[in-house]
């Protein structure tokens, strides 16, 4: 059961640190690696759009130190999954701009690490966004032709299939374990109000500790602080609103649609 429980993340490559260092040192290194890798990957992803270095730096900080990443930082599973998202998006950019075996390998590796990172729910969100992003990028190719679209899609389908095979040693026991889990009894109450984002908690996009903080013991908001905090920083939020109001390009439209869908499902 410990192996089948995906949150053990036994096959996650970065957990090799536990074989090298003491538990305390390995755990600390993994915790530090989350914002570091998330920031580096986001910077490289934004740089692929030929943005100014300052914009790339602001974007990387906004992602790696957003409320979601910080609230779950010391769990060392949720952030370990989410940090690979910008690397997947970067590899999709590179592959769609020209066939490149190296970036197909990067895409395959990042996808596998998402599945092994230790949190299925976050992995599911990453895979949904990556899939929609891939469809948007391929569909946006110049001289659209069905045959050409199939050729562009093939590397992604091939790499995804290999990733599933590589991670099946973990995924298959995990799915078997889920079917035996007592968590199924929770499904009867999935309509609970506190399982969805309360409208009043949207204020956490501006003031993350408006309802207090569990660390200081004064949290008085609904249910769980980490589930509802959407803070990315006030300045990045202002820039995001400015982009929506002034920019008329497909990247802005795509991410605006993703934000709307995410909020609706939340």
93-117 pLDDT per residue, tens: 998 887 678 999 999 999 999 999 9
pLDDT of 189 above 70: no
pLDDT of 191 above 80: no
The per-residue pLDDT for range 227-265, each reduced to its tens digit, is: 899 899 999 999 999 999 999 899 999 999 999 999 998
The per-residue pLDDT for range 52-99, each reduced to its tens digit, is: 999 999 999 999 999 999 999 999 999 999 999 999 999 999 988 876
pLDDT of 20 above 70: yes
pTM given for the model = 0.91
The per-residue pLDDT for range 145-182, each reduced to its tens digit, is: 666 667 777 888 888 999 999 999 999 999 999 888 87
Identify the weakest region by mean pLDDT among 73-77, 120-124, 183-187: 183-187
pLDDT of 143 above 60: no
DSSP string, the chain: -TTTSGGG-TT-GGGGHHHHS-HHHHHHHHHHHHHHHHHHHHHHHHHTTT--HHHHHHHHHHHHTSHHHHHTGGGSSHHHHHTTHHHHHHHHHHHHHS--HHHHHHHHHHHHHHHHSS-HHHHHHHHHHHHHHHHHHHHT-SS--HHHHHHHHHHHHHHHHHHHHHHHHHHHHHHHHHHT-GGGGGGGGTT-GGGS--GGGGGGGT-TTTT--TTTT---SSS-HHHH-----HHHHHHHHHHHHH--SHHHHHHHHHHHHHHHH-
Between 185 and 51, the more confident residue is 51
For residues 122 and 107, what is the distance between their CA atoms, to the nearest angstrom? 18
For residues 265 and 254, what is the distance between their CA atoms, to the nearest angstrom? 17
Which pLDDT score is estimated for 152?
73
pLDDT of 23 above 90: yes
């Amino acid at each position: 059961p410990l192996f089948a429980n995906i949150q053990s993340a036994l096959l996650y490559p970065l957990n090799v640190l536990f074989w090298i260092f003491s538990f305390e040192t390995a755990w600390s290194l993994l915790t530090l690696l989350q914002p570091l890798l998330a920031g580096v990957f986001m910077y490289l992803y934004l740089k692929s759009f030929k943005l100014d270095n300052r914009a790339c730096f602001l974007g990387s900080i906004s992602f790696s130190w957003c409320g979601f990443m910080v609230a779950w930082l010391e769990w060392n599973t949720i952030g370990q999954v989410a940090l690979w998202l910008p690397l997947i998006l970067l590899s999709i950019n590179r592959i769609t701009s020209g066939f490149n075996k190296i970036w197909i390998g990067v895409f395959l590796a990042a996808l596998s690490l998402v599945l092994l990172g230790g949190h299925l729910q976050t992995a599911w969100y990453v895979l949904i966004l990556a899939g929609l992003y891939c469809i948007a990028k391929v569909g946006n190719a110049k001289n659209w032709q069905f045959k050409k679209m199939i050729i562009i899609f093939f590397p992604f389908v091939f790499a995804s299939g290999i990733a599933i095979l590589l991670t099946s040693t973990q995924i298959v026991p995990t799915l078997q374990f889920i079917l035996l889990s007592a968590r199924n009894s929770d499904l009867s109450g999935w309509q609970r109000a506190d399982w969805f984002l309360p409208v009043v908690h949207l204020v956490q996009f501006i003031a993350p500790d408006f309802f207090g903080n569990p660390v200081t013991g004064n949290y008085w908001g609904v249910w769980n602080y980490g589930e509802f905090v959407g803070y990315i920083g006030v300045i990045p939020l202002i820039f995001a609103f400015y982009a929506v109001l002034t920019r008329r390009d497909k990247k802005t439209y795509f991410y605006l649609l993703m934000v709307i869908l995410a909020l609706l499902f939340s």
